[in-house]
Structures are given as structure tokens and as C-alpha cells.
Amino acid sequence: MSNPKLTYHRILLKLSGEALGGKQGFGINNDRLSSVCDEIADIRSLGVGVAIVIGGGNFFRGLGASAEGFERVSADYIGMLATVMNAIALQQALSKAGMEARVQSAIPISPVAEPYVRQRAIKHLDAGRVVIFAAGTGNPYFTTDTAASLRAAEINADILVKATKVDGVYDCDPSTNPKAKRYVEVSFDQVLQKRLAIMDAAAIALCRDNNTCLRVMSLTESGNLRAMVLGEPIGTLVSNEISS
């Protein structure tokens, strides 16, 4: 049953592959995986519907491999398969934590995942299952960020949450500039005009054109996700209309 105090009742959570890799940033760190599942279980207990798009950078990055000489289309497909591995690992961890989850892949891999079907995904969410979208959009040249923006619109998510290692959107790189300022709110047009490093331009444009609010926040601090769905101003809100 939904909690009336919730600000968001259905979210699309975008996780990078590196988020599962822990400090080493490669492979899957079981402690980090369990921590992510605990955060998801917490908001599921409130009645929040959760869908997830997972990246594959902890195994393979298509764009990076392309720069090193891989043919771009083949590199992107390898990257999509990396997201499937992460999705299956996440599904098993969620199941271990007591949550029912389904993996839907944009590339048909019937022995390990359902094919992506929008209405089936919505039925799973309505039934209280976590849905994990793997293999990006199923097409080369499109990032998993773009896939997250697309799926968020398709499932009518209240908000797209990009979980990163940084606690929001800054006017410059906070890791190299200690004077970097974090935005509390920023518009999609400002993100594109100022070329703020959040998501690629296609992902931002999709959110803007479909009026899908985006929140950029850190998932490394326990309780952030719960606070966010309850309406606390965690991280940075990106939308078409911002407070003056």
C-alpha cells in the first residue's frame, strides 16, 4: 500500500556499473551490492515502485574501447552484454534481500532475461516487483543514461534518479576545484547550455521533452534514497521549471 507521505511513488533508478564495483571499480563487490539492495528495500517498504537501469562500466565501456581501436558498434554490443551480467547479479541480490525482481533485456536473451515489453514491465511494477532494464536501448551509439531517460518516460516514473559518487550537480568538477558550487536546482536548458556533466545531451533532451524530472544524488550515504522519496532536497533537482 502506498504511503501518503511519499513525494514519489514510482522511480527509475539509474545505477552505473562502477557503483557495483566498490572502491576497485571493477567486477562486482558483494558488500557494495548488498548496500545498494538495502537502500532499495528501504524504499520498497514504503510502497515505492522501483525500476532500475544498470550500466556495465565495471566490466566494459563501449565508448572507451572504441577510442582504443575497437569497432564502435561491436564495442557497444559488448557493453550491453556487460549490463546484462550486472542486472542478473542485482536480481539475485534483491531476491536474497526478500524482493521479487525481473530482468528485462532490450536484446533478446530468453534463457536469462525477459525481453523488454513495456506493458509487462508496468504489470510487474504494479505487482510490487522491482524491474531491472538491461542492455540499454538495444542499439549502439546510445548510452545507458539515454536508456534510463527513455524507460523512465515509458513506465511513467515520477522521477528519474541518477545515483553517482558525487552528491549533486556542480558548476565545475568538485574533485579538481574545491570552490565548485553545487546546484540545488537547475533546468534542463541550463544543463545543455552550460554543458554540465550529468548525462549525455540525448538523455537530457529526452527528459526535458517528456517533462521527466531528474535528481542527481549520491547513493553512498545510507538513507539518501529514502529521504529523497519522502521529499527531502537531496542532491540536485533538474527539471523544466525551477524555483527562482
Residues forming a β-bridge with 15: 54, 163
Query: 66: pLDDT confidence band, cut at 50, 70 and 90?
Result: low
- Give the C-alpha distances (Å, rounded to integers) separating 133 from 96, 183, 243: 19, 29, 32
Predicted local distance difference test score (pLDDT) of residue 244 = 54
Q: Is residue 139 part of a domain?
A: yes
pLDDT, residue 64, reads 64
User: What local confidence, expressed as pLDDT, does residue 47 receive?
Assistant: 96
Cα 101 to Cα 87: distance, rounded to the nearest angstrom: 10
Count how many domains the chain has: 1
Q: State the amino acid at position 169 in one-letter form.
A: V
Question: Which parts of 23-117 are beta strand (E)?
Answer: 49-54, 101-105, 114-115
Q: What is the pLDDT of residues 139-185, one digit of tens each?
A: 999 999 999 999 999 999 999 999 988 889 998 888 888 889 999 99
The three-class DSSP label of residue 12 is: strand
Whether 120 maps to a domain, the answer reads yes
Four-residue CA torsion sign, 98, 13, 186, 222: positive
Mean of pLDDT values over 189-201: 91
pTM higher than the cut 0.85: yes
**Dist CA 158 CA 174 (whole Å):** 29
In a domain, 209, yes or no: yes
- Which band of pLDDT confidence, cut at 50, 70 and 90, is reported for residue 41? very high
pLDDT tens-digit readout, 73-105: 998 999 999 999 999 999 999 999 999 999 999
Query: For residue 210, what is the domain's CATH number?
Result: 3.40.1160.10
Assigned domain for 4 exists? no
Length of the chain: 244
Give the pLDDT band (50/70/90) at residue 4: low
Query: Can you name the residues that pair with 52 across neighbouring β-strands?
Result: 13, 132
Which residue segment(s) compose the domain that 40 sits in? 10-239
pLDDT of residue 166: 84
CB 32 within 8 A of CB 39: no
* 2 occurs within a structural domain: no
Indicate whether 3 belongs to any domain: no
Instruction: Give Dmax over CA atoms of the chain in angstroms.
Output: 53
